[in-house]
Amino acid sequence: MNWLKKSSKPYKVKIDGTICSLDDQGISGLIKKKLKSSQAVQKAFKKFEISPDKLDNLDIIIEDIGDDQYALTDSEKMRLNKSVFENGNDFLKDYMFVIAHEIMHFILRLRQKQKGNINLPDSIIPEKPTKSNHGYFNDEEESLAFCLAIAYELEKGKSLQEIWRLIFPKIEFHFHDEKDAKIFFKRCIKKSKQFL
């Protein structure tokens, strides 16, 4: 009965410098269009033997999911924190890396459903972080999701400095030592090239 669900209130979203008012369905359509046009995302689907057409079945909703998360994703639903659409944020410029990150979770959840496991080969994962990490990056899926996020931004022509500004703080948050976070981030950049 999902088709009976009413759209949420409209959110202000910048598209090519113009502020538009879009509801969940409009934002969902825009996100899916961006993902389908991304060669990095398409390579991720292919690498894990998942049809990109599965994106059509992904339900994208916007809601309050707490202050400490941008999004949560499984094999059916991506829940985006409404905070990324507030305060005049340029969602497409500053937060599409979050979507690329979350799409890796979506792909791997589908792979798990199809194959019964994920089986990530070590060769595609950045080398394990040091002991100064909080444990978050001991989850290989999280590491790989950041690699896809970086690849997405590189593909879109962002400089490494811009990517550093957007993504490094999210990685650094999970480390006790900034030096270790920088080393791991550089490893993620190197491994992101598998999607380019």
Domain boundaries, the chain: 8-115, 122-195
What is the pTM (predicted TM-score) of this model? 0.90
How far apart are the C-alpha atoms of 146 and 126, rounded to whole Å? Answer: 10
* Average pLDDT score over the chain: 88
What is the tens place of the pLDDT at every residue in 153-170?
Answer: 999 999 999 999 999 999
pLDDT at 73 over 90: yes
* Own/partner pairs, 101-104, CB within 8 angstroms, 24+ separation: 101/71, 101/145, 101/146, 101/148, 101/149, 102/71, 102/72, 102/73, 102/78, 102/145, 103/35, 103/41, 103/44, 103/73, 103/148, 104/44, 104/141, 104/144, 104/145, 104/148, 104/149
Would you identify the CATH topology of the domain 8-115?
A: Zincin-like (3.30.2010)
Residue predicted with more confidence, 195 or 7: 195
pLDDT at 116 over 50: yes
pLDDT at 173 over 60: yes
Specify the pLDDT at position 88: 65
Q: Which of 98-107, 130-139, 172-181 has the lowest mean pLDDT?
A: 130-139
What is the tens place of the pLDDT at every residue in 19-45?
Answer: 888 888 999 999 999 999 999 999 999
